Amino acid sequence: MFTLPLPRPVLDAEPTGGAGAFGALPEWDFSALYAGEDDPKLQDDLAQLDTDTAGFAADYEGKLATLPASALAQSILRYEAMDVVMGRVMSFAGLRYYQNTTDAARSKFMADMQNKITELSARLVFYTLELNRIEDATLDAALAADETLARYKPWIDRVRAAKPYQLSDEMEKFLHDKSVVGTAAWNRLFDETMAGLTFTVDGEELPLEATLTLLSDTDRSKREAATHALIAVFRGHLPLFARITNTLAKEKEIEDRWRGLPTPQAGRHLANHVEPEVVEALRNAVVAAYPRLSHRYYALKAKWMGLERMQVWDRNAPLPDSDDRKIGWDDARDMVMQAYAGFDPRMADLAEPFFTEGWIDAPAKAGKAPGAFAHPTVTDAHPFVMLNYLGKQRDVMTLAHELGHGVHQRLAASQGELLSSTPLTLAETASVFGEMLTFRRLLDQAPDQKARKVLLAGKVEDMINTVVRQIAFYDFECKLHAARAEGELTPDQINDIWMSVQAESLGPVFDFVDGYETFWTYIPHFIHSPFYVYAYAFGDGLVNALYARYEEAPEGFQDKYFDMLRAGGSKHHKELLAPFGLDASDPAFWDKGLSLIESMIDELEAMDS
């Protein structure tokens, strides 16, 4: 079932608020989905779904295990067709809501559509449950007998991976129906609360994203003032955010316990189609590298800034030699498109319609969801990219990142709705690779050593935010869910868990202002999708290793790369990485990716010697 997309990693200073004169910024054209809320096609689709879901249940419920192979294949095709329509409805409602989360009419429409789709899809809950009850030998014989059915084996395997943890049909239907007043309702409360917050900085009322942007301002006093403004508001809402967090964590613990899932993280690993030991190897490699990466880099940055101690508002501060010029939209487009075309013209061709056909929503506006994302919608439409463009170099990298997702989603669409969706661990591959291409092009064009240093430092900071910060976030969630299993957590207890991972990951050069312990409150990943965050570190480490392969042996790399993206979710990460001679289950794999970050810090240190 459709869920609202999540933005890329949340940073304390992600520049996604406010507005500026950056040229004509594009906005979404929803015509590939629906013309509007009153589009007759929308009502026709809902009516057809009502008929189709009822017919599907009548034809198959209680009968799946006895179907011949060809009929079982036909059932999957019918199931997939309904999934497309439900995805189209919820993509339209959800994306419009994200354009303005404070618009009551859009919020109501999204909630109404979510209720309707939940009601209709409840008729289909039986399907995967019955699929899992088919005996292995019976299913194997059916897969061998029908080519269409065999094509869907990767999807069937993912469904059956949850077999040991599924509940009775009645219980599964109950949980499905209850979701709209459970998890989904708490998510909406969080989103709408965040969108409505304002922060007073030097007498000016600002929304969340504009305030976060000030944490990367060149003026240190502005960064400090913004930090204190954030603290004041986060503290004022701390009981609410603690209640949301406690409730969702407890709800998850109850469901996990009923399902028999061994750990709070296990459901995420199953969804990501990744082995727990692979994630643990990633986590351990990154934590072991903290002193060589974040601790060392931030000590170096303190030196550049002439500081003996760093405050939290200095973490994402621009370097003294940084170019603070605003980059117009057309220039940003050219930077990214030239980098893509330099790798392979096919990549630029796939990205072009995002700029020309209304597939990007770029302006930062009041009420708009924070951050940035690329949402694939459905395979017979096209992806939509959301930005909050403010003309900074990091915004250019965000554009490169989200376009990478968009290219990946376009290529994978050929797999069809059930096989196109890439597990989160690999879903960040194309996005981070797109960033790397853009960064390398800018680095090659750097006019002098000073410009090269600024670019390198910016990339190191982004990689630390993507790898070190996200693994620290993952550890925070692991500790929080373990503690919540023992009882209700007070706001102070959650604050203490947050600070335990912050001090460890950022290093000894930092002082932490009183109130920074509340900064966990605004991060949507913890609310919307527990344990999502390690996917960013997974993707970054994977791309670092992948890019190293590209530099070592560029011949034929592009074709293998496009084949990997085109596969979508039809193959396991081992199969996808094998053509490149890479294996994410090898602990040494992660050290290879981390060594790239380390080598960049080495180069920065050498510039100062």
pLDDT, one tens digit per residue, over 449-463 is 888 998 999 999 999
β-partners of residue 385 are 360, 374
Q: Please report whether residue 426 resides in a domain.
A: no
Q: Please report whether residue 50 resides in a domain.
A: yes
pLDDT confidence of residue 464: 95
3-state secondary structure of 445: coil
Classify the phi-psi angles of 14: left when phi > 0, otherwise alpha if psi is within -120 to 50, otherwise beta. beta
Q: Please report whether residue 120 resides in a domain.
A: yes
Across 489-515, average pLDDT: 96
pLDDT confidence of residue 21: 65
> Crossing angle of helices 557-566/534-552, nearest 10°?
150
Chain CA centroid to CA 488, Å: 28
Give me the number of domains the chain comprises: 1
Q: Please report whether residue 442 resides in a domain.
A: no
Q: Take residue 115 and report the two structure tokens written for it.
A: 């209720």
Residue 569's alpha-carbon distances to 81, 323, 407, 408, 543, in angstroms, are 18, 41, 15, 11, 18
Q: What is the pLDDT of residues 32-57, one digit of tens each?
A: 999 999 999 999 999 999 999 999 99
- Return the higher-pLDDT residue of 210 and 300: 300
Q: Is 566 exposed, middle or buried (0-12, 13-18, 19+ CB in 10 A)?
A: middle
Q: Please report whether residue 173 resides in a domain.
A: yes
> 274, 280 in Cβ contact below 8 A?
no
Closest CA to 208 of 239, 232, 184, 244: 232
pLDDT at 439 > cutoff 50: yes
pLDDT at 143 > cutoff 90: yes
Mean pLDDT score of the chain, rounded to an integer? 92
Q: Please report whether residue 233 resides in a domain.
A: no
What is the pTM for the complete model shown?
0.84
CATH assignment of the domain containing 37: 1.20.140.70
In whole angstroms, what is the distance from residue 223 CA to residue 396 CA? Answer: 22
Domain that holds residue 40: 30-181
Q: Please report whether residue 595 resides in a domain.
A: no
Q: What percent of the chain has pLDDT over 90?
A: 75
> How far apart are the two ends of the chain, measured CA to CA in Å?
55
In whole angstroms, what is the distance from residue 296 CA to residue 294 CA? Answer: 5
pLDDT at 572 > cutoff 90: no
Q: Please report whether residue 286 resides in a domain.
A: no
